[in-house]
Amino acid sequence: MSRHFTHEVGAKRSVVVGAAQLGPIQRHHSRSDVVERLIDLLHQAHRRGVELVVYPELALTTFFPRWFETDISKSDHWYESSMPSADTAPLFDEARRLGIGFCLGYAELTEPDSSGHRHRFNTQILVDRDGRTVGKYRKVHIPGHETNEPDRPFQHAERYYFEPSDEGFPVWKAFGGYVGMMICNDRRWPESYREMGLQGVELILCGYNTPIHYVPDPSQDILQGFHNSLVMQAGAYQNGTWVVGVAKGGEEEGVDSLAQSCIVAPSGQIVAQTVTAGDELITAECDLNWCARYKETLFDFDRYRRPEVYTRLTSQRGVIRPS
Ligand code: CDT
């Protein structure tokens, strides 16, 4: 017996998405050099009919948490204290002129709060086709370490450079559907997807920087590509949503990072994937009505979920084994 799903008899709802992978950004590359690359990808996207371009995590600079700087204020130059800034304004202007929306990751340094403290977040913004900022997402799951670990071949001091956000995973009505964001390590946590799934998300945008060498356990190095697609495909399928994962890949300051950006359908299938570790655009027409086939069957949350037996999920953080 076949059935009709929500929206299926109504108007077509789709958005042409471009995943704009970046190759490495070296330490000496200026913001304006990088913005030129972003605009070049934007022009490619325009020629291919893209409506929404997704750039990687920390897309404006090299992945600076690989170095430890004892005086953190000496690292302020890696952060943006306004968005758009003078350097990024040409990207905002060109995107608006072309009528293309975009999602951009960057390091954010806030204005002082009431006690004069400036906060540091790993941030992504979503900008609509008319140039209006739809929303801002600040990374929730911050990986790596908070102090210098001099024995490592390179640092991953994200927990020193960024506060974890307490703002959760909002979903916005935009691009004809429901759109959410997450950043890099968030994609490994099922809670990220489910928080958005419970708000009806249909399109999740995720930038990442993933060093291939995982210092705490090098046996995982060979599995980086597998784990990357494993988590995004599972998250897409289990929540009936599109997921767009976009890398900054290639060898940056001697550290090789995973590329393999991909666009995943609500079925969990990868419909587009990059083939290089450099600047590369992949595209897909994302049919948002496809989501209902999963949201209204196997993953009909309202019918099948059992939140009353999942109490540990929000009351407990680490493992507590039975005695
Ligand atoms: N940027 C980022 O979140 N990268 C992490 C690397 C984890 S290893 C410390 C990731 O999950 O890909």
Per DSSP, the three-state class of 237 is helix
Ligand 1 centre to CA of 143 (Å) is 6
Give residue-wise pLDDT tens across range 252-278: 999 999 999 999 999 999 999 999 999
Positive or negative: CA dihedral 171, 172, 178, 184:
negative
Per-residue H/E/C for 159-204: HHHCCCCCCCCCEEEECCEEEEEEEHHHHHCHHHHHHHHCCCCCEE
What pTM, to 2 d.p., does this model score?
0.98
Cα–Cα nearest to 101, from 134, 125, 129, 136: 129
Q: Give the mean model confidence (pLDDT) for residues 1-26.
A: 87
Give residue-wise pLDDT tens across range 282-323: 999 999 999 999 999 999 999 999 999 999 999 999 999 999
Give residue-wise pLDDT tens across range 50-93: 999 999 999 999 999 999 999 999 999 999 999 999 999 999 99
**Residue located nearest, by CA, to atom 10 of ligand 1:** 185
Ligand 1 centre to CA of 107 (Å) is 15
**Residue located nearest, by CA, to atom 12 of ligand 1:** 210
Residue 3 has pLDDT above 80, yes or no: no
Whole-number percent of the chain with pLDDT over 90: 96
pLDDT at 8: 67
Ligand 1 centre to CA of 188 (Å) is 9
pLDDT at 210: 98
pLDDT at 24: 98
**Residue located nearest, by CA, to atom 4 of ligand 1:** 210
List the catalytic residues. 57, 139, 184
- Using a 6 Å CB cutoff, which residues line ligand 1? 57, 143-144, 156, 184-185, 188, 208-210, 214
Burial of residue 11, with CB atoms counted within 10 A of its CB: 0-12 exposed, 13-18 middle, 19 or more buried: exposed
